[in-house]
Structure 1
Amino acid sequence: MAITVSIELNRELEVPAGYDEVFELLADVPRSASHFPKLEKLTDLGDNTYRWEMEKVGVDKHAIQTVYASQYFADKDAGKITWEPVKGEGNGVVRGSWVLTPKSKQVTALKFHTRAELTLPLPGMLKLAISPVIKHEFNSLVDTYMNNLKKAF
């Protein structure tokens, strides 16, 4: 038996760095991912496609791990980096985007959007109890990621 938890997040922030520098970091998936908390392993699958394996959460047989793969597309002229899910990779389906807007020579505004569906091997009756916990954890990870990116600039 499994449950599926859907999560959608939007964040906006400004970083103290020029557009080119910010785009370069975010378009370089391994560099950008190095700022993401609790990432256990990032595997290059080729063609700008990466498998993300997060650290396990929980204990023993009740530990769960999120694994997913996405293909990344960077369009510097449009100021957009997007990712689309790769089917059949792990227990997650994740898509999203960064939209970058230069505010000045040394400030870039960022809009982050992501949608994830995580399928976890848990009984259906736990969905009401576990969904808020998973959503909170995902929010916390993304918030830490945003703070880490700010510090990187």
Structure 2
Amino acid sequence: MAFDVSIEINKSFSVAADADLVFKLLADVPESTSHFPKLENLVKEGENVYRWEMEKVGAGSASIQTIYACEYASDPSTRDISWKPAKTSDSNGKVAGTWKITEGANGGTDIEFATQATLTLPLPKLTRAMITPVVKSEFETIVDKYITNLGVVFKD
């Protein structure tokens, strides 16, 4: 009755902030995710492991909530941050990705963001063709808003 939707997003952007400051914010998972739209709850499950609970989409018994956990690693010497799926009892998604942070021109910072997600939707397989593009579009819209929110933070 359920089906998977796979999503891959790659974004590159620059901000007018010091690379070390950018790394510090993005490596601090609770702080950086405080700028992530539609995140209902972030739960620390262990050392560098966080469970993401997104806002419910839909209404009543037809609502869906995406939940997944990630284990994070960061390297200050390269300014790379990565995450991979971690087990959590109520997960319906697996998400992995990276932030690559490099010094840009004029004291700014160049940032590369990449993420891959697989979300299991508890819907009839007959709805796959209709629902998959909507889910992918919503995921990309949320990531774009997150990047916009971070850009505002780094202007301060």
The equivalences for 1:1-153 within 5 A come to: 1-89=1-89, 90-104=91-105, 106-153=107-154
Q: CA deviation at 1:42?
A: 0.1
Percent identical among aligned pairs is 50
Q: Distance in 2 between matches of 1:16 and 1:109?
A: 9
Return the TM-score normalized by structure 1: 0.97
One-letter amino acid matched to 1:57: V
Q: Distance in 2 between matches of 1:20 and 1:79?
A: 8
Q: Deviations over 1:91-122 (max 9, x none)?
A: 00000000001114630000000000000110
Q: Deviations over 1:33-60 (max 9, x none)?
A: 0000000000011211000000001111
Q: Distance in 1 between matches of 2:76 and 2:14?
A: 18
Return the TM-score normalized by structure 2: 0.95
Q: Distance in 2 between matches of 1:22 and 1:45?
A: 25
Question: Structure 1 stretches of 5 or more lacking a match?
Answer: none
Q: Deviations over 1:13-49 (max 9, x none)?
A: 1011001100000000000000000000000112110
Question: Structure 2 stretches of 5 or more lacking a match?
Answer: none
- SS of the residue corresponding to residue 58 of structure 1 reads coil
Q: Which runs of 4+ in 1 moved over 4 A?
A: none
